[in-house]
């Protein structure tokens, strides 16, 4: 009778697939950085730094879009909880370590842009 795999066992079984896909991704990925997309010249420092604090009235997004942005930002910001299982159980040099490192960096860039 077959038994269900634990999350860790499943990740171990998927190492060859993860390696194939990390290699495919790395061959196609283009580096990007938040400053490539965010119009920094429109920004202001916080008041404590001699600038002006952000006022929610400045937003050009609808209430629904603002709620979606906040929800998405919370997801991006809480990434470390997703990262832990892989980081604690796999080498940083292997497929899973490479993938989780790149994924974490990518999600961090998303959070910075938002």
Report yes or no: 21 and 100 within 8 Å, Cβ to Cβ.
Answer: no
Fold exhibited by the domain 7-113:
Ribonucleotide Reductase, subunit A (1.10.620)
Q: For residue 82, name the pLDDT band (cuts at 50, 70, 90).
A: low
**What 8-state DSSP symbol labels residue 79?**
T
Report yes or no: 32 and 109 within 8 Å, Cβ to Cβ.
Answer: yes
Domain spans of the chain? 7-113
pLDDT digit string (tens) for 14-26? 999 999 999 999 9
Biggest distance spanned by C-alpha atoms of the chain: 68
Average pLDDT over residues 91-109: 88
pTM: 0.71
């Amino acid at each position: 009778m077959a038994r269900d795999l634990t999350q860790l066992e499943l990740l171990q079984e998927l190492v060859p697939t993860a390696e194939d896909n990390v290699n495919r991704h790395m061959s196609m990925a283009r580096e990007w950085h938040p400053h490539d997309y965010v119009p920094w010249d429109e920004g202001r420092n916080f008041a404590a730094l001699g600038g002006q604090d952000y006022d929610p009235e400045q937003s050009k997004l609808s209430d629904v879009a603002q709620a979606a942005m906040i929800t998405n930002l919370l997801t991006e910001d809480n990434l470390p909880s997703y990262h832990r299982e892989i980081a604690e159980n796999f080498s940083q040099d292997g497929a899973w370590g490479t993938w989780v490192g790149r994924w974490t960096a990518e999600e961090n860039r998303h959070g910075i842009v938002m």
